[in-house]
Amino acid sequence: MTLKNRLAIWFFLAFCAFITAGLIRIYVGGSIGFQVVLKESFSFKDTYVCLDDIFGMPRIAVASKHPAVKRQLEQMRIIRTDNQVKTEVRAEFQKEWDDAMEKAKEEAKELMEELDYYY
């Protein structure tokens, strides 16, 4: 094999590695261990993602620093979507609101009973 053929092979392998690095994302850690997936578009950003780092960040930070990763993790159902989080927060707020209103009604009723008692 000539030097020219060897160089051609090395350049071809380097080109394939370059293209592969731009098209795949490697997830490690977290609940999935190790997984290789295709990116939505060609990019060298976030080719290697440690899920432990992502899960340790606030949701808004992940959305601003790693939007493609967040979107892909939502599609893979590894993290909840923004709508799911919003629905859960609203339900939790509504429950707390209802509990507070019920407690306020009970306290008002007790206060009214005390006032009737003294008069």
pLDDT digits (tens, 9 = 90+) for 58-94: 999 999 999 999 999 999 998 999 899 999 999 999 9
pLDDT digits (tens, 9 = 90+) for 1-28: 799 999 999 999 999 999 999 999 999 9
- Position 23 scores a pLDDT of 95
Does the reported pTM lie above 0.85? no
Whether the CB-CB separation of 30 and 62 falls below 8 Å is answered with no
Residue spans per domain, the chain: 1-79, 82-119
The span from the CA of 109 to the CA of 63, in Å, is 47
pLDDT band at 48 (very low <50, low <70, confident <90, very high): very high
Q: Residue 73: count other Cβ atoms within 10 Å of its Cβ.
A: 22
Matching residue, tokens 């407690």? 103
Whether the CB-CB separation of 5 and 17 falls below 8 Å is answered with no
Q: Which two tokens stand for residue 107?
A: 């306290």
